[in-house]
Amino acid sequence: MRVASSRKLLAGLLAVGLFGCTSGDPKTVKFWVDKINNDHTEREKKADAAHLQEVAKTAKDPGGATLVASLLKNQPGDVVAAAASALGDMGDKSVVPELVDAVDISRGSGADHATEEANHANKAIARTLGQLGDKGATPGLLKLLKSKDNYTVIEAINALGDLKDPAGVKSLSDIATDTSIEPFVNKKAIMALGQIADPGALPAVHQMLYEERKGMSFFAESSFAIYEIGKPSTDMLIGDLKGSDPKFAGWAKDHGILRGAVLAKTAQMLGDLNDSRAESELLKLLSYKDEDAQLQYATRMQAADALGRMRSTKAVKPLTEMLGDEEVAARNTYMRALRFIGDKSAVAAVAKKMDAPKESIGYREEAYKTVALMGDAAEAKAYDSAFNGEEKRLTGECKEAEIGDADCQAQIKEVTARLKQYKAALATNCATGSVSCWTAKLQDPNPFVRTRAALELGHSGKADALSALFDAIQKPLDGADNDAVQNQDEARFAAIMAVHWLLDSGAKASDAAGMADKLEKQVEAEKSKTATMRSAEDVKRLAVRLRRA
């Protein structure tokens, strides 16, 4: 009995020490709000506020949010910050006016205690306003954009993007194009404008496509924002191809931006948007000429890629005729575009390049791959014939380049192994349009077979292939080496394109929002892995399209 009594006494002492005179249930927000109001020192209040945050995550007190909101006034900055964070977890939008009223930007960006606490509070308020998702928060967030603390400004920018309120476009556009602030803040503003996806953001985003500062480009953020804004962007981009906006042309000239650079980047974005209204202008770019050979080919290649993505049948003839171009990288891009378009009439012309005696293996190999990804059993004989003569051609190239026998044999072994891998995509025994057969091939261990299967399903126009294609997109890139990962990534990209083509043909995803969530989580999980960075932007774009639908 004496031991038990001692334990009870100790528990009572601890309770007095921890809770003071506050009574009630410590699992409720009311208990901790009352305790904060009763405590006298800032240290005690901050400790209680930390407990409040934990309790608020699961608390169901009637009127609890109103009680917590009362702490936004007449409390130390860190207590206000904790209260704001707790309100975000509680999810009650009714407290948005109180959060807006609690904004205080009277202090600067100093390191003194009071200023730091005020900025902590402002950051937490901004984060919570974005989390609650009520457009009534916009005035408070616009006020926070004027803070002298960059971290607070960034939180406010992020929150405005989350709210997707067009009322924030003007202020965010000013920040996006402000050359006097940190480039990271500019980028955040561009990203928020993309989230809002209002056409009113286009002038600012358009400018930032070509802006560079201290060697830093804003193209990645701006081009993604262009995609998020969607089809309203197409008219602007077509205007760039035509040169029909004298104001932009003058700005580009003043900033030393070359015409070829504008055309190449514009073609790339039009390929992402996949808007057929741009087809005629993109076709013209296939014959674009520039004094700068690099820009000439960059423009032609981006135009070819865009036309391939939109499966332009009008591009088949010019792309086939361009297979004799002197630039190998360009010709390989043209063949890739032909694979996307999927017009079988181009296969015969490509097949002739597999054993072309004057062509390098870098070009011949792309021809092998293209025939394997587009051809049928009829092309198998030509493939085998070319393959059987490949060792002789490769040996000749080794001698011409003065490569030793051992190194030459190693290269021949490596190349022929890849050609055998490609051949598997030609020998699937699946008929064109057979969804069940090609769907099964999406599980094949050979990534080129999976690439072929995805392309065939995308070309089929059949909506019942969507589910299997989504599974293929989510398949991990876990190859043993970089080459293996690249091949897996190619298969993933083919599946992404296939989904776009099926959506273009009128297919509907059964749970578009749910799939968008999964894809965004996939990007987040993979963002630290260099191997998956190639397809991450395309996965993100697909998620945007699904949400838009």
| Closest by CA position to 71, among listed 43, 47, 52 | 52
Task: Report residue 414 as tokens.
Answer: 């490596």
Q: What's the length of the chain?
A: 549
Neighbours of 513 (CB within 10 A): 11
Report pLDDT for 532: 53
Report pLDDT for 22: 61
Contact 175, 142 (CB under 8 A): no
Task: Report residue 222 as tokens.
Answer: 């701006």
Report pLDDT for 531: 54
Distance between CA atoms of residues 231 and 44, nearest Å: 55
Task: Report residue 307 as tokens.
Answer: 């036309």
| Closest by CA position to 228, among listed 208, 202, 266 | 202
Contacts of 393 (CB under 8 A, 6+ apart): 355, 357, 361, 364
Q: How far is CA 467 from the centre of its chain?
A: 21
Contact 309, 274 (CB under 8 A): yes
State which residues of the chain have pLDDT below 50: 1-18
Contact 19, 35 (CB under 8 A): yes
Distance between CA atoms of residues 438 and 456, nearest Å: 7
Contacts of 512 (CB under 8 A, 6+ apart): 546, 547, 549
Contacts of 528 (CB under 8 A, 6+ apart): none
Distance between CA atoms of residues 14 and 7, nearest Å: 11
Question: What's this model's pTM, rounded to 2 decimal places?
Answer: 0.89
Distance between CA atoms of residues 352 and 121, nearest Å: 69
Report pLDDT for 279: 97
Report pLDDT for 362: 87
Report pLDDT for 214: 80
Distance between CA atoms of residues 210 and 252, nearest Å: 8
- How distant, in Å, are the alpha carbons of 33, 133, 517 from that of 128? 19, 9, 21
The tens digit of pLDDT for each residue in 435-491 reads 999 999 999 999 999 999 999 999 999 999 999 999 999 999 888 888 899 999 999
41 CB-contact burial (10 Å; exposed 0-12 / middle 13-18 / buried 19+): exposed
Distance between CA atoms of residues 394 and 391, nearest Å: 5
Q: Where are the alpha helices (DSSP H) in 109-242?
A: 113-132, 138-144, 150-163, 169-176, 183-196, 202-210, 219-229, 232-242
| Alpha-carbon dihedral sign for residues 105, 106, 109, 113 | negative
Task: Report residue 131 as tokens.
Answer: 């989390």
Distance between CA atoms of residues 230 and 274, nearest Å: 10
Torsion angle, alpha carbons of 426, 432, 436, 439, to 10: 50
Report pLDDT for 482: 87
147 CB-contact burial (10 Å; exposed 0-12 / middle 13-18 / buried 19+): buried
- At 186, the amino acid letter reads N
Report pLDDT for 509: 94
